[in-house]
Structure 1
């Protein structure tokens, strides 16, 4: 396992080319976000979902280990995902990768950061996710 701070790991992912209907369905996104959290080993404490007018959704899942969230822009086919977890037992990348299998973007870009060790350190810079990871 890559060395990380005791305070946590933070993964930010931008996903493009995602289906409008999925990005506008807060109920389905909330279910998948909870599944993603559980697959990563996290403990779900609560969740909230909001649909915006005329479109878009935000889902926030509060974890014992921190949080996972998604903010969507269906008209652009775009979703911004974010997962921050404390300690070593939960891997936020597992949650983000699960959401990629759900969203099936045509492009995705990630940033993996180490938190709590002074300045935020990017341990994996923004790069396109390989096509094999993005299910089409």
Structure 2
């Protein structure tokens, strides 16, 4: 079976609470995942909740990137799917974790290479200060 795409879901713990609640920073981080590609952006939607938290999605022809932050728990959930090689979801999630100062990154990758969800690769990485 041909590969249908790469899909990573990443949960970040111990993140900087202020960064998790900074709408412009979060939006910039997500848009940075496609800045050096030819990806065609279709829709950008971000919402800042009161008193805190941000949800956002960028949909483009080849993929999507979502983020949900819960600052009081130092938590962010990232979902990146790419059906081409322009975007490397693993590198993108690692970059986001670094900027948010995550202490732990838990990633699950679905490669789409072996049929319906027969293969996943889960990785939990404590991030050093």
- Say whether the fold is shared (TM-score over 0.5): yes
Matched, 1:131 2:94: no
Q: By how many angstroms is 1:117 displaced?
A: 5.0
Q: By how many angstroms is 1:89 displaced?
A: 4.0
1:8 is matched with which residue?
5
Query: Residue 34 of structure 1 aligns to a residue in which SS?
Result: helix
Give 5+ residue unaligned stretches, structure 1: none
Q: Which has the higher helix share?
A: 1
Call closer, same or farther: CA 1:5–1:52 in 2, change over 3 Å. farther
Matched, 1:53 2:50: yes
Which TM-score applies when normalising by structure 1? Answer: 0.82
Which residue of the other structure, out of 70, 77, 92, is the alignment partner of 2:89? 92
Query: Residue 121 of structure 1 aligns to a residue in which SS?
Result: coil
Which residue of the other structure, out of 39, 42, 60, is the alignment partner of 1:43? 39
2:111 is matched with which residue?
114
Root-mean-square deviation (CA, aligned residues, Å) is: 2.1
Give 5+ residue unaligned stretches, structure 2: none
| Conserved 8 A contact 2:65-2:79 | yes
Aligned length: 128
1:73 is matched with which residue?
70
| Conserved 8 A contact 1:37-1:68 | no
Worse-superposed segment, 43-52 or 9-18 = 43-52
1:25 is matched with which residue?
22
